[in-house]
Amino acid sequence: MRFTYAEAMTDATYYLPLARAAEAAGYSSMTVADSLVYPSESDSKYPYTEDGNREFLEGKEFIETMTLVSMMAAVTSTIRFTPFVLKLPIRPPVLVAKQASSIAYLSGNRLGLGVGLSPWREDYAVMGVP
């Protein structure tokens, strides 16, 4: 049986110790959240809470996902990492392909890709995506 440790957003100093601890505890994989921006105000309603509230993100550092995954892979040896969910439409596809293939190669193929859309209009606006 395989288990995945899912970390949404946490203090940035916790990620590397959490990755090591998850691996030591026998988890087969770990997911990390993805976002490019966190606007202080938004017209977008967060789709994954009943009231659209996103207070759980307040005060959290937004570490770039692929950079974070590469750091965690560098301090572990068996656990797989998956961005959950990598907001593919707001990222340059050639860059994502290069990042993913580089991380997969350097980590011994320990990268998974969970891809999807962003619920934030601001993500599309800041990246110039209509």
pLDDT of residue 14: 95
Q: How many Å is the Cα radius of gyration of the chain? A: 15
pLDDT of residue 72: 98
- Residue range 66-124, pLDDT digits in tens: 999 999 999 999 999 999 899 999 999 999 999 999 999 999 999 999 999 988 888 89
- Write the CATH number for 89: 3.20.20.30
Residue 39 pLDDT grade (very low, low, confident, very high; cuts 50, 70, 90): confident
- Domain interval for residue 25: 4-126
Helices 15-24 and 65-74: crossing angle in degrees, nearest 10, is 50
Number of structural domains found in the chain = 1
* 3 or 56, greater pLDDT: 3
Q: Give the Å distances, CA to CA, from 125 to 35, 48, 110, 116.
A: 13, 21, 32, 17
Average pLDDT for residues 48-66, to the nearest whole number? Answer: 80
